[in-house]
Amino acid sequence: MTRAWPVANADAACPPAVAAAAERAASRLVAGAPLAYAVGRAPFRHLTLAVDERVLIPRPETECLVDLVLESGVAGGGIALDVGTGSGAIALALATEGAFARVIATDVSQDALDVARANVRAHAARVRAPVELRAGSLLAPVAGVQARVLVSNPPYVAFHEADALPAAVRDWEPGLALFSGGDGLAATAAIVRDAAGVLEPGGVLALEVDSRRAPAVVALVRADARYHDVQVRPDLTGRDRFVVARRA
């Protein structure tokens, strides 16, 4: 809809279903819901995804994580893993824009996988590679897989930081997707530990991290001799948001 549309169609009757949906969205906004939850959808790169309180709202910063993977120079084909997929945003971006043979996405939350499954169905005509959803914690569902890429935006907020979060985040978005132990590093450390077991030689590990903890994550990766070429990359605001490495 263009900005001129409401003026040009000022006398047009609003369909009852549209009016009801707008009223529901307005009520949720008044109650404090984030806009994406109020309207039930969120943009991510070239996709429009269904979202609700079962999944984290995709952020623009995470779009840069997809760019890092697509620009990493990995050969075509192979498997891409998205660990902690939530709405399926990263998995679907890789499946629609990348040149992978298959994308496997995991999540410990069955509720989140239900949302991701709906999004995979909605974008089935656009994917270049099939997207497979697996239930389980972090890398447990992909034991034995050999992947060319492993990408993750894991939970990275420490429990004691909950009160410092904006209310729209703390009170609405799922805690499973936000919080990770007393230092915010539990999930990230587990991924770093286990990712080397599923990545092909030369495969890419790409993680979104809390910018305050980027040095700690870099130290974790560099301390593991199974990785090399460890880099920190900035997000749209210039903060150190991503850690990328290759399997030795």
CATH code of residue 213: 3.40.50.150
Cα angle for residues 43, 44, 47 (degrees, 5° grid): 80
Calpha distance 197→64 (Å, rounded)? 25
Residue 146 in any domain: the answer is yes
- Is 60 inside a domain boundary? yes
Cα 18 to the center of its chain, rounded Å: 29
Report whether 114 contacts 85 (CB < 8 A): no
Element (H, E) at 233: strand 227-234
Work out the percent of the chain whose per-residue pLDDT is above 70: 93
Task: Examine residue 171 and state whether it is found in any structural domain, yes or no.
Answer: yes
- Total domains in the chain come to 1
Q: Would you place residue 31 in the very low, low, confident or very high pLDDT band (cuts 50, 70, 90)?
A: confident
pLDDT at 209: 99
* Boundaries of domain holding 230: 54-247
Q: Report how far Cα 36 is from the mean position of its chain's Cα atoms.
A: 15
In a domain, 224, yes or no: yes
Which pLDDT score, from 0 to 100, does residue 7 have?
Answer: 74
CA 35 to chain centre: 18
Residue 23 belongs to some domain of the structure: no
Three-state secondary-structure class, residue 207 = strand
Say if 39 falls within a structural domain. no
- Note the pLDDT of residue 42: 98
Mean pLDDT of the chain: 94
Confirm whether 20 is domain-assigned.
no
Determine the average pLDDT of the residues in 98-125. 98
pLDDT digits (tens, 9 = 90+) for 120-172: 999 999 999 999 999 999 999 999 999 999 999 999 999 999 999 999 999 99
Specify if 80 maps to a domain: yes
List, for residues 175-212, the tens digit of each pLDDT value. 999 999 999 999 999 999 999 999 999 999 999 999 99
First-to-last CA distance in the chain? 50
Tokens standing for residue 124: 């089935």
The residues, ordered by sequence, that sit 6+ positions from 104 with a Cβ below 8 Å of its Cβ are: 79, 80, 81, 82, 91, 131, 132, 133, 134, 141, 142, 145, 147
**Please, what is the angle between helix 60-70 and helix 89-97, to 10°?**
40
